[in-house]
């Protein structure tokens, strides 16, 4: 561990930045991202925080409350999950419903920001920072629904979208290393765990001082080293399995799928016309090939000792499918 090197942000958030004296780092990041002044007054523990080195996948969930009463969920995810978007929805929904007790007015619900810093490509897009907001637009006249004067006074807000949860997704791996603004400076730190001297984004100066590896105690250094090793291992397992699965799946699944597809196509071609039948059969064969490829990836992950739940997350297959693959493999 080189002197002066910095700590990864996910571990820092999880272990070091929860004291009020250290809020300036998080406040700086949130202020840059949201483009507004953020003052944290409280940080609550997230239920998915995991501190033991044997925890399955490293995640960080924290719930911060700012001086305006807004809730800010910050979640960091190192490994791909096919249903991650729905987990985002669940996390926000849970935070919203937990704000009220029986008899409370709905007007007491606070604004929730859900900020996701992910180290994998989430979906199909050409950007690396995404924002999701609620915008109600008329289907006939394309006009945006607005708050009336009474609602503005009641909510102390100007726009409907300010009442609803807001999502941010920062895809660290997709960041291309070209720094053009302060948010890019933060993205550079997330990706490289480095902060060049000429960076001036709010919070980075404090991060560069507070998150130096040489400030860790011996106990903290050992815990951090375990975290790094676990993160590398998890990523290598997924990368190796996907690489193997792509190769084997292409050779076996696609060939098998195309043969089955041609057979299906020829049969359907009798009724629908030869060319149309072939096309439909090839599509079905391709789908079978993809299923075969996912099964091969799952088998490789099982060989490496990954749990059924984690294999489901990595491949998109159901628990029942994974259990069947596992039982066949054991036989």
The predicted pLDDT at position 267 comes to 60
Which residues lie closer than 8 Å to 299 by C-beta, 6 or more apart? Answer: 325, 329
**Three-class secondary structure of residue 4 per DSSP:** coil
The predicted pLDDT at position 240 comes to 55
- Residue whose pair of structure tokens reads 């305006």 in the numeric block: 68
**Three-class secondary structure of residue 64 per DSSP:** strand
* Tokens of residue 312, six digits: 């489901």
The predicted pLDDT at position 54 comes to 43
Q: Where are the domains of the chain?
A: 9-216, 222-330
Terminal Cα distance for the chain, rounded: 45
Provide DSSP, 295-329: HHHHHHHHHTT--HHHHHHHH---HHHHHHHHHHH
- CA dihedral 177→183→189→195, nearest 10 degrees, is 100
Question: Tens of pLDDT along the chain (331 residues)?
Answer: 444 589 998 888 877 777 776 789 999 999 999 999 999 998 876 544 444 444 444 454 688 889 988 999 998 888 778 889 998 999 899 889 988 988 899 999 999 999 999 988 888 999 999 999 999 999 999 999 999 999 999 999 999 999 999 999 999 999 999 999 999 999 999 999 999 999 999 999 999 998 999 888 898 888 888 878 877 766 665 555 555 555 555 555 555 555 655 555 556 555 555 455 455 555 655 556 667 777 777 777 777 777 777 777 777 788 888 787 777 655 5
**Three-class secondary structure of residue 66 per DSSP:** strand
């Amino acid at each position: 561990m080189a002197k002066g090197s910095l700590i990864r942000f996910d571990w820092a958030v999880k272990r070091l930045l929860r004291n009020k004296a250290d809020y300036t780092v998080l406040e700086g990041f949130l202020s840059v991202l949201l483009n507004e002044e953020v003052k944290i007054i409280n940080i609550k523990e997230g239920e998915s925080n995991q501190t033991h080195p044997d925890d399955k996948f490293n995640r960080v969930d924290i719930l911060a409350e700012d001086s305006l009463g807004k809730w800010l969920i910050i979640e960091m995810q190192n490994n791909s999950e096919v249903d991650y978007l729905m987990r985002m929805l669940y996390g926000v929904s849970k935070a919203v419903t937990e704000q009220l007790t029986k008899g409370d007015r709905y007007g007491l619900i606070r604004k929730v920001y859900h900020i996701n810093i992910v180290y994998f490509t989430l979906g199909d897009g050409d950007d690396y920072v995404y924002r999701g907001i609620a915008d109600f637009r008329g289907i006939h006249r394309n006009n945006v629904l607005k708050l009336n004067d009474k609602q503005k006074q009641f909510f102390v807000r100007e726009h409907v979208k300010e009442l609803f949860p807001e999502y941010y997704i920062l895809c660290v791996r997709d960041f291309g290393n070209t720094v053009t603004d302060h948010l890019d400076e933060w993205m550079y730190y997330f990706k490289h765990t480095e902060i060049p001297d000429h960076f001036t984004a709010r919070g980075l100066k404090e991060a560069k001082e507070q998150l130096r590896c040489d400030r860790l105690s011996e106990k903290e250094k050992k815990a951090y080293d375990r975290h790094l090793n676990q993160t590398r291992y998890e990523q290598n397992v997924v990368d190796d399995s996907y690489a193997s699965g792509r190769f084997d799946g292409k050779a076996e699944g696609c060939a098998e799928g195309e043969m089955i597809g041609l057979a299906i196509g020829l049969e359907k071609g009798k009724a629908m016309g030869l060319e149309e039948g072939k096309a439909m059969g090839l599509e079905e064969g391709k789908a079978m090939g993809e299923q075969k490829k996912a099964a091969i990836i799952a088998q490789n992950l099982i060989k490496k000792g990954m749990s059924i739940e984690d294999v489901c997350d990595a491949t998109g297959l159901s628990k029942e499918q994974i259990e069947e693959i596992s039982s066949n493999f054991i036989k």
